[in-house]
Amino acid sequence: MNKKILLSLLLFFLTSPIFANSAVAFIYHRFAEAKYPSTNITLEQFKYQLNYFESNNYNVWPLSKIINYLNNNKTLPLKTVAITIDDAYLSVYTNAYLLLKNKNFSYTIFVNTNSIDYKSKNYMSWKMMREMQNNGAEFANHSLSHEYLLPKKDETNEAWEKRFRKEVQKAQQRLQEELGSDTNKNPKLFSYPFGEYNLKMAQILNELGYIGISQTSGAIGKDSDMQAIPRFPMAEAYATHSGFKTKLNTLPMPIESVSQKEPVIKEGTSPKLRLKLKKPLKNLRCFISSGEVIGLKWLSKTEVEISANKPIKPPRDKYTCTAPAGNSKWYWYSHLWIVR
């Protein structure tokens, strides 16, 4: 075999989606709490997903391990997935914990610590968390109070920044006091309450040494924004068997650059998002959260401008773009908009 053919084969293997260095993270909140359908997953759905991971030989890793691999330029194994859970509701312990323990799966729980300290009946206790810590759970930062952390009306920049830093640092202090000094330390993870953030928040998190975790959808790769790591929501409506498997088979969209990174926009606007791709993609389509197809304007073979057909409605929405990646996989990118 000559050198030209060998080089072509090597290039194919290195660029093929099968060998892409990426992982998929799912976000859960409540388990078998039917009165909260927007944040709940049924046990039938959750059991199906756990069984699917097991029977199809997925590597179920804590989110911190995935981030460490990417930050240290280590290659993730194929079929790597993270189970992440926000808020530390009691149903995590009563309904999900035993299922996860029986599978010997690792997972990541983001905790808003005031709810635990106030001993709310709707949340787990520190004692429960310490037990779970011995059986696959890692715990990370979801703020002190789980308030909206964007600047409030008439709040000065100084007051807002002081409030935001306190929410992050005090919660971290409580996690380490209750769960050990090495808790959420390497790396430090912070999940934005309600998934809301602006670029200034992301900058402060970076200064404090945190990875920012969002609620926008998409796969995680080496080019992911480390202040807005994507996760796929797994509430009842999105946790159908087919929907789950589609999201599991996603890859990070090959994006070179993104314009209009600031997610906060004014009411009554249809923001324009410009993506510069690393390579041309066929059959790229974009949607808002309702599923409505939105307009694309190709500026070149690899640069596209995306804009909703009408103003984005408050409080928030997303532009989600997908394209076939081959081998039954999909490139996926989602961009958050917060209407203020």
CB 124 within 8 A of CB 115: no
Residues 53 and 160 in one domain: yes
CB count within 10 Å of CB 198 equals 17
**237-244: average pLDDT:** 95
Prediction pTM value: 0.94
Predicted confidence (pLDDT) per residue in 133-181, tens digit = 999 999 999 999 999 999 999 999 999 999 999 999 999 999 999 999 9
Question: In terms of domains, do 228 and 265 share one?
Answer: no
Residue 4 is assigned to a structural domain of this protein = no
Could you tell me if 304 and 245 lie in one domain?
Answer: no
Are 267 and 245 found together in one domain? no
| Per-residue pLDDT at 4 | 55
Residues 42 and 182 in one domain: yes
Residue 73: Cβ-neighbour burial (10 angstroms; 0-12, 13-18, 19+) = exposed
313 band by pLDDT with thresholds 50, 70 and 90: very high
CATH of the domain at 228: 3.20.20.370
The domain total for the chain is 2
> 262 and 226, same structural domain?
no
Q: Are 243 and 321 in contact (CB under 8 A)?
A: no
Residues 25 and 149 in one domain: yes
Do 235 and 279 have their domain in common? no
Q: What is the pLDDT at residue 74?
A: 96
Residue with tokens 């993870």: 189
Range of the structural domain that residue 292 is part of: 256-339
| Per-residue pLDDT tens digits for 11-66 | 444 444 445 699 999 999 999 999 999 999 999 999 999 999 999 999 999 999 99
Q: Are 57 and 80 in contact (CB under 8 A)?
A: no
Same domain? For 189 and 80 the reply is yes
Close Cβ partners of 89 (under 8 Å, ≥ 6 residues apart): 29, 30, 31, 33, 122, 123, 124
Q: Which residue in 255, 252, 149 sits closest to 202, CA to CA? A: 149
Same domain, 102 and 138: yes
Banded pLDDT at 263 (limits 50, 70, 90): very high
Which of 221, 236, 251 is the last residue in one of the domains? 251
Same domain, 100 and 157: yes
For residues 146 and 214, membership in a common domain is answered with yes
Point out the domain boundary residue: 220, 251, 282.
Answer: 251
